Chains A and B, each alone.
Chain A
Amino acid sequence: MILPKDETPGAKDAGVAEFIDFMVANRVPVSARYEIRATQDAIRQGEDAQVAFVAGLDWINSRSKSEFGKLFLDSTSEQQTGLLEEIAYKAKFKPTTESGREFFQLMRDYTVVGYYTSKIGLETLGYPGLRTVWPKMPGCSHLDDPEHLHLNNAK
C-alpha cells in the first residue's frame, strides 16, 4: 500500500516483502535511529527493529479489530487505507496513535529502501547509473534557458 503498483511496478513486484523479512531477520539496521559505533550497536538496533515490527503489526491488528472487528489484512481496502491515513498524515492524526505513527515511519523506511535498492525500483525511477558506460557526460541540454524558467513541467 505504501508504494503500490500503478502505471509502474509496486513494492510487491520488487520483492520488498522478502527484503523486509531478510533485513529484519538478519538485524540489518536499515532505518538508523542512532549512530553505530560498534557491532553491539548494530545488533541492538537490529533487535529494536525486530521488536518494533512485531509490536507494530500487533498494534495495527488490534486497532483494526477495535475499529472494524477484523484483523488488518481481513479488512476492506477502504478500511485499511483509512487506518493508515490516521498514522501517515498529520492532518488526520488521532490521539493515542503515537506508537502506530512510529511504526508507520519504520515500515515506510524499510519499504522505500527495499523498493529503490531493487532493480525494478531503480528502473522505475530511471536511475541513470543503471547504464555503466557513457561516451561523455551530457550535462544540461537547456543552454538557451540557464535559469530553467521555461521547462514543460506538466506532469
Chain B
Amino acid sequence: MPARISARTFDVIVVGTGAGGSTALKVLCEAGLNVCALNSGPRMVPEDHYRGHRQVYDLKYRGYGDPLRLKGKAHQEPYSVEESEYSDGKDLFEHDIAYSNAPGSDWYWKRCKATGGKANFWGRSSARFGDIDFKAAALDGFGDNWPVDYAEISPWFSKAENYMGVASTVQNRPSNPDGEYLPPMPFRCFDYILQKAGEKIGVPYLPDRCAQLTVKHNHHPACHYCGNCSRGCDVGAFFSPTWFTIPEAEATKKLTLVTNALVRSVLVNESGAAKGVAYIDRATKREVEVYASVVVLAASCVETAHIMLNSKSRHWPTGIANSSGELGRNLCDHLYGSPGYGCLPQLLGQPPTPDNIADSTVSWMPRWQNLKNPREEKFIRGYSVYMGGGCGEFPGHYRQFEGFGTQYKREIQRYYPATVGGLIQAPSLPSPTNYVDIDPAKKDIFGIPQLRFHFQWGENELLMWEHSKQVMIDLFKAAGGEMWGADSVPNRPGTSLHETGVCRFGNDPKRFVTNKWAQTHDVPNLYICDASIFPNSTDKTTTMPIVAFAMRTCDRMLENFRLGLHRRV
C-alpha cells in the first residue's frame, strides 16, 4: 500500500523543475493555485554546486575528476561538459537509473536530476522559431505543419524574452524572426574577420540571440564575465530555474516542492482521467502517491514519454493518452559536430584577448539554406552553425604542431588568439525508426521498466553535415585562414540535449498525442510543458520556446480552471 504524501490534494502537480516545469510553477503559483512540484533529485544550491570562481588548478584532478567516482553506479558513463569535477560528489546527475539502446542505436542521454535540471548549465542561445519552421511541411511537402503559426506564438516569445532577458540585434532574416532584445554581446576580432569572409561566400554571420544579461534586467544583475556560465552562474545573470522561476514560485507560498521524488507513473481514476502521480522517494525507497486536479509533465522530453509509457491501466493499455499510438515516436535531435576548425593567421602573435569571458555563443551563422526555394539544396529545411574560438581556458591547439622545446612553447602562445572552429546545429527529420519505448527486459534499481532508445541519423541531416563541411572549407579560404580539420563523424545522438517530438502536438487526435495547447487529446487534465510536444527539430535551440510554450499552456489551463473544466480543490 503506497503512502500518501498528506491528506491534502493539490490543484496541480508538476513533474520536473527545468525550464518548462519551473515556468509552469511560477505561472500557476502566481495565479493562486496550490501546486506540488516533484523533482527527481536534490535541490540545486549555487554556492555549493556551481563552479563559482574556482580555477581548474583549484581542483584535485584538474577537471578530470576521480576516475573511480562512479564505481558501482547503474549508469557509469560521465556526462561531458555539463557534469564536471566542480560538482563532483554532489549527486546532481543521474547515474542510478540506467537506460537501454536498441542494437545499432547509441543515444547519449545526459540527465541532471537536481532542481532546475540542465537549465542550470544551458548554452543560452535563444532564437525564435518562425513560420518557415511552423509551416515547413506546406513549403516542402514533408511531414506535418505545426498546429500553431507565428502570429499566434509571437506574443509568447515576447513574453518569454522579456522575462528571461535575451541579448541580440534586429537582423531581418527570413528564417529568424526578430524579438525584443537587450544590447548584444560585442563581436571579437575573429568574428569580424569571419563576418567579412561570410559576406564573400554569401553566408550570414551575425550576433546570436543569447539569454545572458548584458545589462541589469528585472532585478537580476548584469553579467560580470567570469566565463563560468556552463558550470552555473554564481549571481543569476542568465535565465535559470534556480535563479528565476523557482524562487518566484516559492515566494507565493503556494508551492510544495518535493525533492528526490522519482516519478514512476501517472495515476488515473475510474474514468481514465489523471488523478495524481506515483513516485519513489529515493531516500526511503518507498512508493508515494500524490493527488491533484491537473497533472503537468515536464520531465525533460523523453522522460515525459517514459513516465507516460509506464502509466498503463485498463483505460490506457499502451500508456496514458496513447490512443494515437504516437507516444514515444517522432524522436528528433540536433546533429552536432565540428564541420571545420583551424586558425586565422591575421591574429597570430596578438596579445591574449578576452574572447570567451561571456562563455556564450556570441555569434552564429543562422540558417541560409532553402530560403528562396524550399528545395534548392539536396536536403530540405536547413541548419545553423555557431562559431567560436580565440583565447580559451585550455590551448587545445597544442596538438597541431610537432616537436617540443622553446620554439614549440612559443607556437602554442602565438596561435592562442588565432584559433577558430564551427559547431553545426542540424535538425533531424522525424522517422518511423527513431523513437523510444519501454525495454521489455530491463528494470532500474527501483523496479521501474527502463526506457529504450531507437535512433539513427537520417539521410537529410547527414547531407547537411556534408554540406556544412564544404561551407567551412569555403569560409576558411575566404577568410585567408588555415583549416586544420573537421570531426570525422558527427557527435553521438543526444549530445545536443535538444531532443523533441515524443508527445508531438497537432489537431488530429488520431495522429498526435497533444493538442495545440499541449494538453493530451485523450486526457484533458494531463498537460505537457517540455520539448516533447515539438513535432520536429528546427535549426534553433529549444529552451526559450519551451518557456514560451509553457507560459501559453499554463495560461490556457488557468482559463480552463476559470471555465470549470478543471476544479480547484
Instruction: List residues of chain A with CB under 8 Å of any chain B CB.
Output: 1-4, 6, 8, 10, 19, 23, 26-30, 36-40, 42-43, 46, 81, 84-85, 88-90, 104, 108, 112-114, 116-119, 122, 124-134, 136-140, 142-143, 146-149, 151, 153-155
Q: How far apart are A98's CB and chain B's nearest CB, in angstroms? A: 15
Instruction: List residues of chain B with CB under 8 Å of any chain A CB.
Output: 53, 55-57, 61-73, 76-78, 185-189, 191-193, 195-196, 214, 223-228, 344, 346-358, 391, 393-395, 398, 402-406, 408-409, 412-414, 416
Are the CB atoms of A28 and B64 closer together than 8 Å? yes
Residue among A39, A46, A113, A124 having the largest count of chain B Cβ atoms under 10 Å: A39
Choose from A1, A10, A39, A90 the contact partner of B68 (Cβ within 8 Å).
Answer: A39
Task: Tell me whether A126 and B347 are in contact in the complex, defined as CB-CB below 8 angstroms, given that A6-B406, A43-B67, A134-B225 are known contacts.
Answer: no
Q: How far apart are A154's CB and chain B's nearest CB, in angstroms? A: 7
Are the CB atoms of B76 and A38 closer together than 8 Å? yes
- The residues of A that contact B193 with a CB separation of less than 8 Å are 146-148
Choose from B53, B226, B393, B412 the contact partner of A127 (Cβ within 8 Å).
Answer: B393
Q: How far apart are A16's CB and chain B's nearest CB, in angstroms? A: 11
Are the CB atoms of B188 and A139 closer together than 8 Å? yes
- The residues of A that contact B402 with a CB separation of less than 8 Å are 88-90
Chain B interface main SS type: loop
Docked Cα-Cα span, A119 to B59, in Å, equals 11
Look across to chain A and name the residue whose beta carbon is closest to the beta carbon of B58. A119
The contact sample of 27 A-B pairs, CB cut-off 8 A, is A1-B405, A3-B409, A4-B405, A8-B409, A26-B67, A28-B67, A30-B64, A37-B77, A113-B394, A114-B62, A125-B352, A125-B412, A126-B352, A128-B352, A129-B357, A131-B354, A133-B225, A134-B226, A137-B214, A137-B354, A140-B186, A140-B191, A146-B195, A146-B196, A147-B346, A155-B349, A155-B414
Choose from A2, A27, A38, A155 the contact partner of B405 (Cβ within 8 Å).
Answer: A2
Look across to chain B and name the residue whose beta carbon is closest to the beta carbon of A104. B404
Task: Tell me whether A39 and B71 are in contact in the complex, defined as CB-CB below 8 angstroms, given that A127-B352, A133-B224 are known contacts.
Answer: yes
Look across to chain B and name the residue whose beta carbon is closest to the beta carbon of A112. B398
Q: Nearest 9 CB-CB pairs, A to B?
A: A139-B186, A155-B349, A126-B352, A128-B354, A42-B67, A134-B225, A146-B192, A148-B346, A132-B226
Task: Tell me whether A139 and B187 are in contact in the complex, defined as CB-CB below 8 angstroms, given that A26-B61, A38-B76, A127-B393 are known contacts.
Answer: yes
Are the CB atoms of A138 and B186 closer together than 8 Å? yes
Q: How far apart are A101's CB and chain B's nearest CB, in angstroms? A: 10
Docked Cα-Cα span, A68 to B403, in Å, equals 22
Are the CB atoms of B226 and A128 closer together than 8 Å? no
Q: A29-B67, A113-B62 are in contact. List 6 more A-B contacts (CB 8 A).
A: A6-B406, A39-B73, A112-B398, A119-B57, A137-B358, A153-B346
- The residues of B that contact A10 with a CB separation of less than 8 Å are 409
- The residues of A that contact B77 with a CB separation of less than 8 Å are 36-38
- The residues of B that contact A136 with a CB separation of less than 8 Å are 214, 225
Choose from B223, B351, B356, B394 the contact partner of A126 (Cβ within 8 Å).
Answer: B351
Residue among B63, B353, B403 having the largest count of chain A Cβ atoms under 10 Å: B403
